[in-house]
Amino acid sequence: MTSYTPLHNPERDGDAFVLPLEQAIDRARKVRDEKAQANIHSQDEMIRAATGLHYVLDVLLAALDAERGERP
């Protein structure tokens, strides 16, 4: 058992929301561009950037899997 709560736990968090691939790509680019403005010296902004990017990466991977027929 870990002494912290991981950012993502597949058993706890379930599957990512599945968007159509083009929408997932657009959202990922938008969030990437937004998070690129974060202050690297701000712990709060870096945490927000990491969690935001993690979320869109999950959505993008789910869309890619669905596109390849690997997800319902």
pLDDT tens figures, 37-50: 999 999 999 999 99
Residue 7 covered by a domain: no
Token code pair at residue 12 = 């706890």
Residue 5 covered by a domain: no
Return the higher-pLDDT residue of 11 and 1: 11
- Could you give the angle at the alpha carbon of 58 between the alpha carbons of 56 and 64, nearest 5°? 100
Q: Which residue range is the domain that position 44 belongs to?
A: 14-67
How many domains does the chain divide into? 1
Residue 67: HSE in the Cβ half-sphere, 13 Å Cα cutoff: 13
Token code pair at residue 42 = 């701000």
pLDDT for residue 9: 73
Q: How confident is the model at residue 70 (pLDDT cuts 50, 70, 90)?
A: confident
The span from the CA of 13 to the CA of 48, in Å, is: 18
